[in-house]
Every structure is written in structure tokens, then in C-alpha cells.
Structure 1
Amino acid sequence: MVSTSAGSIAAPGNPASQLRFRAPGEGWFPVAVDSLVPTPWGCRQYSLAAVDVSAPTATVTATPGPSATPRPTGTALPSATAIPPEVMFDEYEPNYDFSSAANVGVGQTIALNFNPYPAGSNEVDNDYFRLYVKVGEALKLETTGLAAGLDTNLIMYRENGEVIAGNDDCQAGQRQSCLSWKPDYTGVAYLLVGPVGTIPEAISAGARAYQLVISDVAGSGSITNGTPTPAFGQPFLGDQAGGLPWKVTPLPPTPIRLPLTATVTGEFPPSTGASRTGEVQVRAYSLIPPTLTPEPQQPVTVQLMVYYDENDNRAPDISEGVAGISVRILDSLTNRLLGQIFTDGQGHASLSVSAAGDVRLSVPYLGYTQPVKPPGKQFEIRLGALRLPSLIP
């Protein structure tokens, strides 16, 4: 809590917060309330109360005199301003990139919208999701129930960030999007759902709403069973004559070596009479990208200390550790999440991952990020103490 002159008055406690202060004068005093640790949506509620605990004026003498002027009644605090429903983001936010992708599952129908996080932001909302897929499934992913004027786009990614497929419109003239895919591996895949074109104004609740349906149609005939898994670089063709709902341009056939008889000119000295003939060799090149040799995995260990330097000695002391801070390790090239942990009661966190190269340490709550090379490194994050005035005028 700070005064109008920006001087700190008191600091909150943990887990519940309480502070007392003597007002230096009449006026407004803003109160800021924040969460120290990531909190699920269902628990993000609290009550805030302000109570005048000053002692009543003592009676000095029993001699009758004029009655004391009654204390004025305190002004009630205004109630918290609720987020208007027309700009309220969906329950899966924030999920604006790969590292914050929301976990979903096959068989779900999810109610969503394109209202950005935080509420009132002017950013374009892109929704990222993370789901577990298995060989043998025939997945169908589609957007339905689009609000009037809304247009969507779907992009499917492998765990390493490689694009699997994408679709704007299920059919010409439609706005909803749909994908069909038979996973050729068991593991994690990512899905991006984004708006296309202009986004309707958030003038009412549901003005930017849509639904995401993820279903397994194996055995239903929606995707032909027994279709061989294509090799890397080849298009996946389903049961439709044109393959997937989006347009796929097949790769041209691999060139072959053919003996040809042709007139050879230019390099040979001219001859009188008939021209020279010979065999022309055509060198074949495969258009399929070669299989990349995976780089060896190396262990990377990151140790982190987060502390609030209360005595301002620029060193972590006992009881200065900050608990519950999210610590993430990301792949530097693909931004893929490799591991996550929270600081313990002493503010320590130690996380070991395997990576083919450099990784990146990220502490989202503090906006802190640092590159890390194998085999790892130790880090300290110091939160400086606020310097309070010795006397309050």
C-alpha cells in the first residue's frame, strides 16, 4: 500500500495478507493486491476489508461538558469491478503460445472465444492446445458454432514444432475449419486455432465465441482404414478423392536415368556434313528431403535461487527464499517446454533435462529469461527490498 506521494507504508504477509497503518492525512490511498504463486481459476477469489481500529477517545474528566463530536462514519470501499461478459476471455487462457498451450484430450467439445488475455487487451487472440495422440487413432478436429462473422483457421504441429497440416475452410464458402489426421506416432501434438480476417467487435457476450471438437473416428469410415502412413515429405491422402479437405499438391515423380539420342553442339568442334550424335545422361535427384541425423542428447541441469533481500546485503539469507515461483526450461530453437518446477520453501529449484543443444531458462512471473549451455548453470534472482522512511511525517 502506497501513499499519494508514492512512499511505501507497509508490506503484505503470506499466505493471507494483513497490514495496519496510521493515515498521515485525509485523502485516497490505493491498495494493490497480487498473487504470489500461480493459482487455478476456481481459486482466484478473495475478500478485501478495511476496518478502523483506532481506540476511542478516552474520557479525561467526569465534569459535564459539551458532548463530543461524533466520529464520521467511514466511507465504504467500492466493490470490485467485474470483467464485462462481452470481453471476458475463455477458461483456457492464457494459452497464446506453445509454452502456455492448454492441455486438452481426444473426445472433448470445448467452448472457447477469441477474446484476448488479459481482458481488454488489443492483441489478436491465438489459442494453442496440447493433446496426446496414439498410433491407430483417426482424429477429426473441427471448429463449430462460430459466432456471426467469425472465421477460423487450424494448424496441427508435431511435438518438435514441425507442421503436420492446416485448414482454413472445410469447404469453399464456409468459415469453419476441419482437419483429419491418422497419427504416425504416439506422443504429444499441438493445435493452433486462430481467427482469419476481421474479428467481430466484442459488443455482447458470445460475439467472438466458437467450439473446438476433437474426436476419434477410427472404425467409423470417416477416414479410410488401412491407408499406409506416408513417408516424410509426402502428402497424406484420406478417403476423399481429393485427399484431405484442404488442397494438397502431390510431389512430382522422382526423375530416372534414360538413354537419349540427341544432337550435341557447342562443346565439340564443328564438322562438315552430318552432325555428331551421342548419349545424354540425366542425373537423378530425389525431391524427398534426406532423413536428418538426430543430434545426441546432452544432460542440462539448472539450479535457481529466488530470494527477497530483506536486509539488503545482496546475498540470500535464511527465511528470504520465495516459494511457489514457476521455473521453466525451454528448447532454444523450437520453444518447446522441456521441464517445469516450482521453487520450494527456501526459494530453491533444481531441474535437469535432456537437450540436443542450448536451452532457455524462463521465470514467467518475474519476466526473467536466460540462455543456458550444457551441462548447465546456477542462477540467483534477487528481489530488492523496499526502503521505508524512518518516520512518517
Structure 2
Amino acid sequence: MPTATPLVSADEAEPNNSISQARPMTPGEAGRYGVGGNDKADYFSMLVKQWTRYRCETKTDAVDTELFIQDAAGHTLYYNDDRATGEIESWIEWTADTEQTVYIVVKARGDTYGAYALQCIAYAPPTATPYPTAVVVVTVPPQPIPIPAPVVVVQRALQPTATATRSLTVTATAITTMTATATPDTRIMLVVRKLPNVVTTASAAQTEVSLLIYYDANNDRKPSPDEGVPNVSVMLVNGNGQPIQQAFTSALGEVRLTAPQNTQRIVVPFVSGWSETIRHGAVGGVTHNNFQIGLQAVEIPVFIPVETQADNGGQE
């Protein structure tokens, strides 16, 4: 006679023999159920969250369980028969890669049947293990850093003219040069070499000469704004009495000249006996020579002799 199919007492989850009859459960919940014989499988449903880790396991000493984790279409996602060699309990641990409802299916293997306990628990999402920051070592081959060549600046002296006598000669060279070499450990080595000091040749002394000729109409022995005598010839002469520069007084009776270094005196040919020595200062300095000639007033009109610029080829 065939062996009778064992009857398993109905538990509180029955009927839960298919996905449509699955008993809802939540992580952490545990219960005792029976499977095998006339009860081929028990179905439970549970909502899982993305990146959360879960573990479902059976506890029994009577029935050899098989454990399945399936999706809503009945596809098996995870499976386990025995949690270890020689044991009949089942155990699955996994991390959900999406949020969904899964189905935990418990079946009896072979002809075994009996009671079992089922529990599913959830773990917090695993904390990512920080990885050490990568350190990149770059080896830089030695390369010289170009340094501009020394610069020499020369300003040529101007040739003396009737109005320009100041000259300046400057010779400049770089004070230092630097050679930089990058070594493989990225340190920079500087080699400094001192060159001769900059040599500066200053110009000769600059001598400025100004003269005011006025007609002292009110006999106050000082010039007034309307007393200047125009078009009077003024000369600068050297030590031999030879003219170096000539100019004529302006409408205000003034004349201004820059005297060359060989100038010795200033003379006014039409003011008989009048001349003055020109003072020159130190090298690089400016010396001012300021003169005045006051012509005394007379009771009768007199002619003040002047020389026209056209007759003498002079210039204001």
C-alpha cells in the first residue's frame, strides 16, 4: 500500500501557498509555521528598501527547509538549502539593489515535514569605507629656467647747442643673474652671482642765466610791470671775450639762457661798461645766475640804443 501523505497542522499564516496568498511580514518579525506533506510551500511578502541589507533564516530540527527570495513575477533572486554542511536549516543574506516587494518562500526538501521558525531582519545601509587619498608623485626632469641676458642701456650725450647744454650718460648692467634648476624632488636650487655695480656717469653742471633790463621811470630803483626794455642784445662770452650765445630781451625786457661750461661772462653791448661773471656749480647740479639792469630816468626824452634782430641775425 502507498505511504499516506503526512498531514501538517495548519498554522496562523495559512493559507499562504502562493504569491497571491503571501502573508505580509515586516523586518524583525518572527513566527512559527509548518511545511511539508500536504503543505508544499509557504509564501511571505516583505517590502525591502534600496541599499539596505537583509537576512532571512529558518530555525528547525524537524524539516529540511529550502529558502527562496523571489520577485513579483516569481523569479528566484536568491536561494539556499542548508546554511552549512550537515544542517537542515536555511539562511540567505543580501543587499537590496532597488525598493520592491519580495516574496520569501519556504519549502520542505524531500519527504521531510514539520514545524519551523522564520525570521527576517534588516541592517542599516553599510557605511562606505573611506579610501585613502591617492598621492601622485611626479618626477620632473631637470630643466634650466631661462634668465634674460644682462641689459645695457646707454643714453648718448647731446651735442651742445645754443639752448641745450645738459648731457647725461648712463651705463646700466644687470646687478645679478639667477640660474634655476628643477630637480626630480621638485625642489628649486638658485645660484646667484653678483655682477659689477651699475656705473652712472652724471652730466656736467647746468648753468641757467636770466637778465632783466628795465627803464626806471619812477626812480624807485626796482622794476615795475611796464618798465621792461625790449629788443636789447645780450651775449654770453668765453674767457677770450668771444661770443658763445646771443639773444634779445622780450617785450617784458627779459632774456633767459642756458650757459655752456666755457661761458665766463654776460655782457650787454649797448650798456657801456656793464658785464658780470657767470658762476658754474658742482657736477650734476643746477646753478642760477640772475641779473638786473635798471636804466635811470631822465627829464628829457633820450634814445635807448637797441640793435635790431634783423641787423645782427639774432633770435629771441
TM normalised by structure 2 equals 0.36
Determine which structure has more spread, i.e. the larger CA radius of gyration: 2
